[in-house]
Amino acid sequence: MNIIRPIRKADYDALKAIAVESGIGFTSLPVNDELLQRKIDRAESAFHKSNVTEPGDESYLFVMEDTATGEVVGTSGIEAAVGIDDAFYHYHLSKVVHASRELNIHNTVDILTFCNDYTGVTEICTLFLREQARGGINGRFLSKVRFLFMMEHRERFSETVIAEMRGVSDEKGRSPFWEWLETHFFSMDFPTADYLTGIGNKVFIAELMPKYPIYVNLLSEAAQNVIGKVHDKTRPALQLLEEEGFSCRGYVDIFDAGPTVEANLSHIRTAQSSLKLPVVIDDMAAAQGQTHYIINTSIDEFRAVAAEMTISEEQRVAVLSRQAAAALNVNEGELVRFAPVTFRD
């Protein structure tokens, strides 16, 4: 069985292996010992922080563990409020009109405007599943468990939730969008810029980024063609979020022009459809039910599983197996929050 739990110090080696495997463009996991250790420390602090009444600088990092082997096979994260300590940059794709009634000319032009519009919103991030664990519902489980956690602890998160999707780059880390910026403004390759951002060195962005809107039609054709497009490996993640109700409102990454998608927490499908009920333990009844993503209601002792369960409409209880209840660290009568793996439209 796979469980999802908060990361801890003992997971450092696994986190570093995931950072190496994730490759260039996965900014939230730089291959840097000090930064990775700091991520774990921040997450442990967030999970143990009590009396949180509003989103702040908390960073929640979860891991998926194969309980049969004890191996960590994936990660998933939430930043409670971005841009509080470090500036959070985007380009916004919009339009301007150049028109002359006298000359009967009307041209609509796309522009990219440098901005910090998402400051203070919640970001889901750091989703990565190791190759040996890919398959089945593991990827969806890692992604969707965050919506249940946020719904259960709403005071800790913003109503607006975003996700930055990796943009187009090749196997050597070359980004067509960044190559245009590099040529004209930065004199620094994409892997270097990506790494510096990942380790928190963002000053160069404000210093070197063009201060005025960029006319898209002045970019190279290759750069224009990747604006708002995702990396091939990111397509499944984008499709999953779109199924949950996320959409792009014109914001793209400043390095690779990958889209940033957003949704309101209360409208995210898994969060909206979730229920919270007390537990009854019954192996036979649970086995006759439907597979659900299930979480306990703890923060520091958070656990999540994907398991069969039955909902008793008469008694208003969630019927779990002994194995699932043990994995969640819950006893009969304690509460769990859950959502179905398969929605019935």
Q: Please write the tens of the pLDDT for every residue from 163-208.
A: 999 899 887 778 899 888 888 887 777 677 766 666 566 666 767 7
Q: Are 241 and 166 in contact (CB under 8 A)?
A: no
Residue 107 dihedral angles phi and psi, to the nearest 5°: -120, 130
3-state secondary structure of 321: coil
The pLDDT of 227-248, averaged and rounded, is 92
For the beta carbon of residue 232, count every other beta carbon within 10 angstroms.
Answer: 9
Catalytic residue chosen out of the listed positions 98, 106, 231, 292: 231
Type and span of the H or E element at 272: helix 269-273
Name the percent of the chain lying above pLDDT 70: 94
Q: Which of 61, 57, 60, 62 is nearest to 82 (CA)?
A: 57
Instruction: Please state the φ and ψ torsions of residue 7, each to the nearest 5 degrees.
Output: -70, 155
Please write the tens of the pLDDT for every residue from 35-68.
899 999 999 999 999 999 999 999 999 999 998 8
The string of DSSP codes covering 19-31 is HHHH-TT-TTS-S
Residue 3: strand pairing partners: 65, 305
Residue 254 has pLDDT above 70, yes or no: yes
What tens digit of pLDDT does each residue of 208-234 get? 778 789 999 999 999 999 999 999 888
Name 72's bridge partners. Answer: 65
Structure tokens at 159: 């109503």
Q: Which domains does the chain have, with CATH numbers?
A: 2-89+116-269 (3.40.630.30), 274-340 (2.40.40.20)
Q: Above 90 in pLDDT, residue 312?
A: no
State whether the Cα torsion 15-202-26-304 is positive or negative. Answer: positive
Q: Determine the Cα–Cα distance for residues 279 and 329; give it in Å rounded to an integer.
A: 11
pLDDT of residue 197: 67
Q: How far apart are the first and last CA of the chain?
A: 28
> What mean pLDDT is reported for the chain?
90
Report, as an integer, the average pLDDT of 75-91: 91
Judged against a pLDDT cut of 80, whether residue 308 lies above it is answered with: yes
Query: 70-96: b or e for each residue (b if 16 or more CB lie within 10 Å)?
Result: eebbbbbbbbbbbbeeeebbbbbbeee
CB 285 within 8 A of CB 309: no
87 close to 116: Cβ distance less than 8 angstroms: yes
The pLDDT assigned to 200 comes to 62
pLDDT digits 0-9 by tens, 105-153: 999 999 999 999 999 999 999 998 888 888 889 999 999 999 999 999 9
Quick check: is 231 catalytic?
yes
CA angle, 337 then 294 then 66, to 5° = 150
H or E element at residue 193: helix 190-198
Average pLDDT value for residue range 245-267: 95
Considering the entire predicted model, what is its pTM? 0.90
**What is the percent of the chain with per-residue pLDDT over 90, rounded to a whole number?**
68
